[in-house]
């Protein structure tokens, strides 16, 4: 008979990529983790991982078993948390993915008091600028800035997010300030690679219009885009939650071309068909209160 502890340990090994890291995450000894993996392989009659000196990788059988194993572990955790929530407590794991810059600047101050109020929640916060797949069993929800194209998601709006064209006073002194969208095409642009050069989108009376500037730098991190703009490398279209302090201090100037960039939103999305837990709903409410309406970075 398969044991739940062994299944949970296998999932931890697959996610961690090593016995040592899986043992650390589960607060177990490496020998116990190894014994549980061996016990599961004997029960299944199949080898689940390839063992090497550097890293463990899944066998074909292991990859096939992982999808269902992760689902089993998640459902048991959710069932346990649901029973506890019926008694009015928020407990158990909460796995969230979020962009690096927004997480660094704004998530910390919002979630630390939340976790202090609910010490039984075990939060894992994965900061990554790549688009995480919330439909997998790895996350309970993903926090995103901007449009969400996936159709099989339930999307909660947390806050509006205006963006601004910004450049350093030095850059504008050397190259002049563009006065129209057409002027932008002759300027050096700092672009977010996950969106591309067509990301300079503006709201006009005839609808959304995209402008392509000359690329001076393409990078997948908002902090580096801000730093490049401060260094005078070019013009960047950045969320105000990144540059509001630099605008207030006049280290960056807002470039006015007569139309406004399209407004976007901060979203929290979870998989369709999966009932959101009470702790996920409480987390979303906590973020809305912390950000405010309008959010503090736009006041």
pLDDT of residue 86: 59
What three-state secondary structure class fits 96?
strand
More confident position, 51 or 243: 243
Q: Report the CATH architecture of 163-262.
A: 3-Layer(aba) Sandwich (3.40)
pLDDT of residue 57: 83
CB-CB contact of 286 with 111 (8 Å)? yes
Half-sphere exposure (CA, 13 Å, Cβ side) for 262?
15
Q: What is the mean pLDDT of residues 31-50?
A: 87
Q: Where are the domains of the chain?
A: 4-83, 90-161+265-298, 163-262
Residue-by-residue DSSP string for 171-239: HHHHH----SHHHHTTSEEEEETTT-GGGEEEEETTEEEEE-PEEEEEES-HHHHHHHHHTTS-EEEEE
Does 4-83 match 163-262 in CATH topology?
no
Q: What CATH fold (topology level) applies to the domain 90-161+265-298? A: D-Maltodextrin-Binding Protein; domain 2 (3.40.190)
- Pick from 67-71, 241-245, 249-253: least confident: 67-71
More confident position, 136 or 166: 166
Q: Is the pLDDT of residue 183 over 80?
A: yes
Structure tokens belonging to residue 205: 């009376």
Instruction: Express each pLDDT in 77-97 by its tens digit.
Output: 777 666 666 566 788 889 999
Residue-by-residue DSSP string for 111-180: HHHHHHH-TTEEEEEEE-SS---TTSSS-SEEEEES----SSEEEEEEEEE-EEEEE-HHHHHHH----S
Q: What is the mean pLDDT of residues 162-171?
A: 95
- Report the percent of the chain where pLDDT is more than 90: 41
First to last CA, the chain: 60
Q: Report the CATH architecture of 4-83.
A: Orthogonal Bundle (1.10)
More confident position, 290 or 57: 290
Q: Tell me the backbone φ, ψ of residue 189, rounded to 5 degrees.
A: -115, 150
- CA atoms of 230 and 251, how far apart (whole Å): 7
Handedness of CA 183, 266, 99, 269 (dihedral sign): negative
Q: How confident is the model at residue 137 (pLDDT cuts 50, 70, 90)?
A: low
pLDDT of residue 85: 61
């Amino acid at each position: 008979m398969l044991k739940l502890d062994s299944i949970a340990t296998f999932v931890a090994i697959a996610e961690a990529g090593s016995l040592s890291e899986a043992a650390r995450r589960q607060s177990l000894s490496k020998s116990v983790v190894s014994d549980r993996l061996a016990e599961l392989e004997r029960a299944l009659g199949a080898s689940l991982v390839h063992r090497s000196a550097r890293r463990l990788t899944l066998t074909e059988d292991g990859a096939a078993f992982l999808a269902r194993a992760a689902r089993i572990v998640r459902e048991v955790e959710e069932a346990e948390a649901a029973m506890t929530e019926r008694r009015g407590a928020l407990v158990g794991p909460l796995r969230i993915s979020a962009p690096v810059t927004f997480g660094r600047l704004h998530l910390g101050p919002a979630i630390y008091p939340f976790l202090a109020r609910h010490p039984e929640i075990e939060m894992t916060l994965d900061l990554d600028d790549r688009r995480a797949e919330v439909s997998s069993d790895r996350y309970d929800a993903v926090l995103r800035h901007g449009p969400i194209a996936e159709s099989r998601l339930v999307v909660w709006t947390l806050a509006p997010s205006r963006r601004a064209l910004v450049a350093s006073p030095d850059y504008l002194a050397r190259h002049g300030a563009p006065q129209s969208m057409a002027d932008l095409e002759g300027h050096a642009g700092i672009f977010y690679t996950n969106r591309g050069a067509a990301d300079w989108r503006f709201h006009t009376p005839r609808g959304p219009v995209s402008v392509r500037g000359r690329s001076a730098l393409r990078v997948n991190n908002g902090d580096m885009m801000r730093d490049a703009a401060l260094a005078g490398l070019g013009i960047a279209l950045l969320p105000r939650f990144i540059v509001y302090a630099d605008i207030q201090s006049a280290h960056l100037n807002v470039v006015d071309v007569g139309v406004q960039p399209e407004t976007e939103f901060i979203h929290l999305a979870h998989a369709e068909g999966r009932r959101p837990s009470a702790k996920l709903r409480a987390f979303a409410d906590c973020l809305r209160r912390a950000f405010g309406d309008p959010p503090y970075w736009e006041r």
